[in-house]
Amino acid sequence: FSLNSFFTMQGPVLQQQPFNTPEEKPQFPGASADFVERLEFIQPNVISGIPIYRVMDRQGQILNPAEDPKIPREEVLNFYQKMTLLNTMDRILYESQRQGRISFYMTNYGEEGTHMGSAAALEPTDLVFGQYREAGVLMYRGFPLDLFMAQCYANADDLGKGRQMPVHYGCKDLNFVTISSPLATQLPQAAGAAYALKRENNNRAVICYFGEGAASEGDAHAGFNFAATLECPIIFFCRNNGYAISTPTSEQYRGDGIAARGPGYGIMSIRVDGNDVFAVYNATREARRRAVAENQPFLIEAMTYRIGHHSTSDDSSAYRSVDEVNYWDKQDHPISRLRHYMVSRGWWDEDQERAWRKQSRQHVMEAFERAERRLKPSPDNLFSDVYDENPPLLKKQEQDLFQHIRQYKEHYPLDLYEK
């Protein structure tokens, strides 16, 4: 039996179709391309780099009036106050962890512009999947300081009933999916949620946040490919802040950032200045509009800088210089850039700045003190919210636990917990 006889046996079904000319396009189903007769590998630096879209410079001046989103004064003030309130909350909770009052914390220093600019461009009904540095998105949507504190202190007011480590926020009413620790798991989850919204045809979109380090996880590639092939209304929002914990981008990838990966999956992509809240707003608003109207995914890479340590478990001075951090903190910070914009329009001055800083700190400290005084969730929560009716084995474990606590109650401070 030969290959030649196989073709003969198949008759006209597998007849070879010769090309009439060398210029005829190939018919392979896996790609759209042309034939070439010269052996040449594609260079990774075939282009100079994807440009970074921005609206205002570092002094807060609008560069192209046609790109000015013309956001009303009240909303710009809301951006600024939320960004600075988040900054104040970060400082107080970071110090709280250093004093041993909470177990863990992650700050958002330097990335506040990505939060407020993107959150403002969404509809309240849009579904948000965060990584762990999107507290500003939740704050913009109306999550109160008391609930931020309750989650970090794992007290009885925590929506998660004290079951998660700090900064793993979530709020069903605000369409913010509870954050989980493993990196990039939210990407395929978000793609699936977007596919469900597409099938419902209810004018909603999904936004999924992640860092450039998480983009190296396999789940990121699965999420991109599912969203593209299923044509889902989703915005993949990458915060490229320069460091994946202690790994700089120079060691994280060799290609042109994260936006360059979008075209390979068939995803519309853009790179924006993440320290320019208006650029982030414009890009997210347009991506959201088109994602819903056209049922297709979009990828936004927001270039920014993580000014703080990765978390309270990290000392960034071990892998980057103080001068580098100071440059981004003093010369190109999203808060100072927006303040320059407001001052140039007469919307803000030093007196207002001092008054707001004092007021915002007072708000945070009051919520902080309330959270510390609040009792912990009841131990009963250890056994709830998994089964509709607890199985016998779990009931037995519950009985054994409380019998043990009653027997050795002097070792268990139950007065710190709700009854």
Query: What is the C-alpha to C-alpha distance for residues 286 and 273, in angstroms, rounded to an integer?
Result: 15
CB-CB contact of 360 with 84 (8 Å)? yes
What is the chain's length? 419
Query: What is the C-alpha to C-alpha distance for residues 215 and 187, in angstroms, rounded to an integer?
Result: 9
What is the 8-class DSSP label of residue 22? T
The count of other CB atoms within 10 Å of the CB of residue 72 is 8
Instruction: Tell me the β-bridge partners of 240.
Output: 303
Residue 328 amino acid letter: W
Record the tokens describing residue 418, joined without a space: 């709700």
Q: Which has the closest alpha carbon to 262: 290, 220, 209, 298?
A: 298
Query: What is the C-alpha to C-alpha distance for residues 228 and 332, in angstroms, rounded to an integer?
Result: 34
Non-local (6+) Cβ contacts of 76 within 8 A are: 338, 341, 342, 347
Residue 409 amino acid letter: K
What is the 8-class DSSP label of residue 182? S
Residues marked active site are found at 95, 181, 310-311
